[in-house]
Structure 1
Amino acid sequence: MCAAAAGGAWWWLSAHQAPVVELPVPPEPPRLADSAEYERCLALLREDSDAAMAYAEEWAGQGGGEGARHCTALALIGLGAPERAADMLERIARDSHAGSAARAAVLGQAGQAWMMAGDAARAYGATTMALTLEPQDADLITDRAVALAAMRRYAEALQELDQVLRLEPDRVEAMVFRASALRNLDRTEDAMRTITQALTAAPDNPEALLERGILHQLRGNEAQARADWERVVSVAPDSPAAELAQQNLALNEAGLPQR
């Protein structure tokens, strides 16, 4: 099979493709705390995880509470310990007195951390708990769909993505994920219609181009597949999508089956 496609912070997973994620720092409220220390710690996370950890630990020693614990957990992700972070994030969300939206966001981060740790089942559990708090959150539903796909439960993932698109009909990321789920269900015609819709909305979306190239390859349209993958490299040369496109181009050139 060709390399699997995805979008946004999370990559659609195949049996051989590890997830590529960004550090799940909350860019906007709701958050667990409202203080200058919390804002400083979150800002450090985007720059230097070691510095963020040191700051969070010092702040915790001064009574930083759950804000300091939250920053510590996120720093653990940046330092390559997503399993420890996921456990901590789940405990923080369980014990927090913050509102439901903030606790759901933390559980969503736990789900992302579990995906980084390679545990899709725990990721599914964390996002399911989050959705009990915020059942119409499109980001959380998308994350649960990714976890389902990682467990090869593509039909259920498709149902989740259909719900996302009912909530947000123009969400290109969900269209790309939906096309990948359909492809894995051997519904390639439906997958092509969905990816065409995504590329109509965002003609240079690298993940959508990557997925369309895969679909062209499955149809035997070698030239069109190469054109899409070369376009990915052109529009987003430093992206994970470009890396996968280059892998597929190399395999195609060598006459080997794509993964």
Structure 2
Amino acid sequence: MKYLVPLLFMLITGPALAQQDFLSNQEYKHCMQLTRINPEQAFEKALGWQDMGGGLPARHCAAVALISLEQYVQAAERLEVLAKDMPDDAPAGIVSDLLGQAGIAWHQAEDLDKAFATLSAALKLSPNHPVLLTDRAAVLVDGGKMWEAVDDLNTAIETNPYDTGALLFRGSAYRQLKSYDLALQDLNRVLELDSDNGEALFERGVVYRLTQKPDLARADWLKLIELHEGRPIADLARRNLEKLDLKAE
């Protein structure tokens, strides 16, 4: 999955969550770590903890484990219910994080309408949140609404001009829209901030190829392979480089 916004010990906020002691915080941390290592075990642990009064933290861990298990619809539904069940005085940011996670799960389930609606609800609670905007932009791209996605990414980048993820995403969107000059502006900016960014090197190479600059494309892809050997993005660059060389012959 593309993003999973951590709630960072949401247990200590709100009257219902304040009843959890330090041991419960540690249990939540361990359970969340387990969702990445052994999600099946994490899910069973979370259910058992919930039966013993683990409450909202246990339910959240169970939902995140379901995302790791690719049970996206169940995860999304649990996260939406969890957001509704949060205490009235829970910070809006916590509720929006939960809705954002639900939106990601709906997206993974390929239900674009529910993903868009849930992420939009999250953005009402946390306006201009860069991560939520970027997640919603991904939904819009998959729905073929490229310029609307760019609008979301524009807002995300205005909020955080150093967000290399949003800049890279917008550069890729501009490339797909054949706005190559704008794509290069974003991709060059990413590489100014992170000169070894493999995804940006790959995307810029594609733009160079499409704009009939094969030498520049080759240079970016060769650098990418050197820096990121063994990663899928390096294999993709190598395949594109082979096609470029075949065309040159």
SS of 2:8's partner is coil
SS of 2:212's partner is coil
Percent identity for Structure 1 against Structure 2: 35
- Residue 178 (structure 2) aligns with: 186
Gap change, CA 1:114 and 1:250, over 3 Å in 2: farther
- Residue 145 (structure 1) aligns with: 137
Larger relative contact order (C-alpha < 8 A, sep ≥ 6)?
1
User: Please, which of 47, 53, 59 is the counterpart of residue 63 of structure 1?
Assistant: 53
SS of 1:169's partner is coil
1:245 Cα deviation after fit: 2.6
- Residue 134 (structure 1) aligns with: 126
* Contact 1:25/1:74 (8 A) holds in 2: no
Gap change, CA 1:91 and 1:245, over 3 Å in 2: farther
Q: Quick check: which one's helix share is greater?
A: 2
Structure 1 letter corresponding to 2:100: G
* Contact 1:25/1:42 (8 A) holds in 2: no
* Contact 1:111/1:122 (8 A) holds in 2: yes
1:145 Cα deviation after fit: 1.3
Structure 1 residue runs without a partner (length 5+): 1-19
1:130 Cα deviation after fit: 0.5
SS of 1:46's partner is helix
RMSD: 2.2
**What TM-score comes out, normalization by structure 2 length?**
0.85
Q: Are residue 106 (structure 1) and residue 86 (structure 2) matched?
A: no
1:146 Cα deviation after fit: 1.4
CA distance in 2, matches of 1:115, 1:80: 12
CA distance in 1, matches of 2:99, 2:161: 25
Gap change, CA 1:166 and 1:53, over 3 Å in 2: same
Gap change, CA 1:99 and 1:27, over 3 Å in 2: closer
Aligned length: 235
Segment of structure 1 superposing worse, 63-72 or 110-119:
110-119
Structure 2 residue runs without a partner (length 5+): none
**What TM-score comes out, normalization by structure 1 length?**
0.82
User: Please, which of 71, 79, 82 is the counterpart of residue 69 of structure 2?
Assistant: 79
- Residue 177 (structure 1) aligns with: 169
CA distance in 2, matches of 1:120, 1:249: 34
